[in-house]
Structure 1
Amino acid sequence: MAQHVEDLIGDAVYDQGGAKIGKVKRVYVDNASGAPTWASVSTGLFSEDSLVPLAGAQLRQDPAELQVRVRKEAVKTAPHLAHDGLITQDSENDLFVHYGVDPNRAGWEDYGRHAGPPTRGDARTTGTAGVTGTAAPRPTAPDMPETRRPDFLVRSEERLNIGTRQEVSGHARLHKYVVSEEQTITVPTSHEEVHIEREPIADTSALPADFGEQEQEVTLHQDRVTVEKEMVPVERVRLVIDQVDEDQTITETVRKERIEIEGMDREDKLR
C-alpha cells in the first residue's frame, strides 16, 4: 500500500496499452486540491524526463507498477520539463492541450487532502483522462485552476547530446567462378633409333660362315606424353572485417534564450 505520493517514486510506469514508459522520478501536487497531477518519468539514459498526467492512473502491486491513461507515443512527443524541474502555468497549459486533459479534472482524485491513499492491486479510477492525441480547447481564465506562477523567468538553451549508432555502409562478398587458361610445359622425352655398327672378325674360324639370305629385327621405343587433370585445393579465402577508428567533427546549430531588462534606463543584460 502506498501511504504517500512519495512512495510512487521509482515505480515502473506503463501506458494504457501495457507498454513500459519508464520510472517515476518526481510527483507534482496541485496547490489547491493537494491531488497529484503530474509525474516526471525517466524514459531513457540519454533522454530528458517527460511529464505524464496522473488523472485516472491505476496502481498495481507485485511488482509495483503505475498504469497511466495515455499512450507511450504521446509521452515521447510531450513538452519536456525545464532543467530547473518547475512547471510554469504556460507549460502546464501546453501539457493540458497535448494530452487532451481537462484542467478542472487534472488531479488524481484517489489522492489529495480529502481522499485516502489507494491500495495497490485495487486501484480506483475516478480521475478522468483525455483521449491521447486529441487537443482539448485552451481553457479561459475563469476556468483555470489556481495558478502557480513563479516570480522569475526560466532561461533555457539547447544542448547537444552526441552519440553514435551503427548503420549499414556497404556490402562485400566473395564470389568464386571458373576461368580457362592455356599452359605450355616442356616435357623431356626420349626415343630409340638404330644405326649399323660394323666389327671386323679377326679369327674366321670362331664363327660359322652362314651364306645366304637372312634378316634381323629389333623393337624400337619412344616416350609418349600423356596429360591427366586432377582437382586439388590450393588455398583458403575468407572475408575478415577490420574496425577502423577515426574522429569525425560534427557542426550543429543550437539555440538559447537571452533575458533583457526592459523599461529601465540602464542597458544591463543578463546572460
Structure 2
Amino acid sequence: MITLEQMKESMNAGANVLSEDGAVLGPMGQLYVDDVTGEPSWVTIATHTMGNPESFAPLQGATRAGRDIRLPYPHATVYDSPKMSQDGHLSPEEEQNLLRYYGLMPAKDDDVATDRATGVTTDRAADAAPAPLRSSRTEGDYAMTRSEEQLRVGTEIRETERVRIVKRVVTEDVTMTVQIRREELVVERVPVRDGKPFYDDGEGSFTDAERERLYSAVETAFNGDTTEVVLYEEKPRVEMDVVPIERVRIRREVRTHDETVGGEVRKEVIETERIEL
C-alpha cells in the first residue's frame, strides 16, 4: 500500500500515472484521501484533452515505479471510467459507483442471485456484511474550489470596406467669346477737278503713283475694265489640349476611439448547509 508521504513526494516531483503494462496514462492530478483513515484512496489522471474531466483511479493495489505511480489496470479501463465532479470531495454514492466499475465492489445486479437448481433467490448483499458508506476528499484541508468567469476583451482586425480609385470621362458645355476680324469693301469716291483730287476738306494733291494710275485709267476708259479685290475674315478654330489639373493620392490613417463592451459572466458562490443527523 502506498503511503500518503510517498504520494505527496510523487506529486511534488510531477509524476505520471502508469497503466499495468507501464504505459503512461497521463500526469497525476489530485490526490484523494479517505475521510475516516486519511490514507490515500484515489488519484485523478488527465487522460483527456484540456477542459474535459479527469479520470479517477483507485490506489488499491498500486505500486511505485520510480517517482511514477503504477496502477493494476489497463489503459482502456482507466480511460473509460465514470467521470465525477471534481469539487474536492467524493460522495459515498460516487465512490461506490467507481468501486463497482473497477470491480472492487459487487455490482447491483449481482446483489440478488437465483439458484437454478432449487429456484431459491438469495440476497447476497443481505448475507454479506454491509459495507460502510465511505467518502473521500482531496488531500489537505476540507476545502472546495470556487471558480468564476472573467471577461476577456481583445480586438480583431476585419475588413470594413475596399476603396478603389477610378477615372471616368464626363463632358460639359463650355462657352467662350472670341473677337473675330473681317474685311469689308468700302467705296470711296473722290472728285477730280483740273487733274487734282478735290476732298471735302479742300484741295489736295496726287502722289506720282496716284497720278500715274489716274492717267492709265483714262487711257483704258470705256474698255470694260474690271478690278477684283479679295476680302478676308477670321474664323474661330477650336482645338483640344489635354493639360494636367491635379493629382489625387489616397493613404490609410489609423484612428482610435473608445468603445464600451459588456458581457454576462458567471461565478460560483460557496454556501454552507447544516444537515441534521
- TM-score, normalised relative to structure 2: 0.48
* Bigger proportion of residues as helix: 2
- TM-score, normalised relative to structure 1: 0.49
* Bigger proportion of residues as strand: 2
